[in-house]
Amino acid sequence: MIRRPFWIRVFSFALTLLLLWLPLGLSIYFFWGEGGAASFVNMGLLYLIFMLLLRVWGQRVHHQRSPFMFYGLKGGWNFGRDALLGWLAGVFLVALLFAIEGLLGWVSWQGLSDRFGLVLLDGVLTGVAVGFAEELLFRGWLLQELELEYQPWFALLLNGLIFAALHYLHPLEVILATWPQFFGLALLGWILSLSKWVFAGRLGFPMGLHGGLVWAYFGVNVGQLVTYTGVAPEWLTGINGNPIAGLMGVGILILVALGFSYRVATAP
């Protein structure tokens, strides 16, 4: 079977997605405005179209009878077990980071607010949505497309870089203010790709890990569980309070990446 080059496939997929969504998205914008519920509906609509297109794409372009399984939504009970394990791992990593920083006196713990239960619930919904959506896109569709074109480790490298770069679709002043987190985002992308390999190509663990990280940090940040004492510099704890833009957070991610890399390298 003759397959078009990777960049042509990606451009074709993205252009098709845009053309399918644009009429509906513009209609919502003109009749409902932007922001708030309109933005939420537009994003949900975009992702629904992405899911439908992904199914057709897998069938027509790659001749897969089960496109979603092809991209990693497989495993039944194993998928659910993987997702739960990944979620717990994500929560543990965030807890470990702030526990160490607390012991070192870099952060001080605050009391729970009256709204903390609602914050956690909101965080669960956010974590599940972000974990599912971003992992199906980046470690499902994109990583699979890369692996069809390049050697596995180069595909993993590109996947992390693209993952990080696409988080910078912001005005220039925002990009300049948040650039220190680029390596942390790329490293997180590599970890999520490695975890997919470790778990037999299933997306359950990376979805759970991503969601658990989002939920735990959402609880700490939005729930205002900690304040930085100023004892340690920002480059150590995280620029602008972002852990993956600091040496401590990146250091933990490097250890996780090395662990997964060892598992992949020594797998039978």
- Rounded CA separation 202/189 (Å): 16
Q: What percent of the chain has pLDDT over 90?
A: 77
Question: pLDDT category, 24, cuts 50, 70, 90?
Answer: confident
Break the chain into its structural domains and give their ranges: 1-71, 73-266
Question: pLDDT category, 118, cuts 50, 70, 90?
Answer: very high
135 CB-side CA count, 13 A: 31
Question: pLDDT category, 244, cuts 50, 70, 90?
Answer: very high
- Rounded CA separation 231/249 (Å): 16
Question: What's the DSSP call for residue 132?
Answer: H
DSSP one-letter string for 163-215: HHHGGG-S-HHHHHHHGGGHHHHHHHHHHHHHHHHHTTT-SHHHHHHHHHHHH
Least confident of 10-19, 32-41, 100-109, 226-235: 32-41
Contact 61, 9 (CB under 8 A): yes
Report the chain's mean pLDDT, rounded to a whole number: 92
**pLDDT tens for residues 169-206?**
777 777 777 788 999 999 999 999 999 999 999 999 99
Question: pLDDT category, 2, cuts 50, 70, 90?
Answer: low
Largest CA distance in the chain: 61
**pLDDT tens for residues 204-223?**
999 999 999 999 999 999 99
What is the per-residue pLDDT for 89? 98
Least confident of 66-70, 80-84, 167-171: 167-171
What is the per-residue pLDDT for 28? 80
Contact 191, 163 (CB under 8 A): no
User: Mean pLDDT across the stretch 19-43?
Assistant: 81
Question: pLDDT category, 82, cuts 50, 70, 90?
Answer: very high
Contact 264, 197 (CB under 8 A): yes
What is the per-residue pLDDT for 51? 95
- Rounded CA separation 47/178 (Å): 26
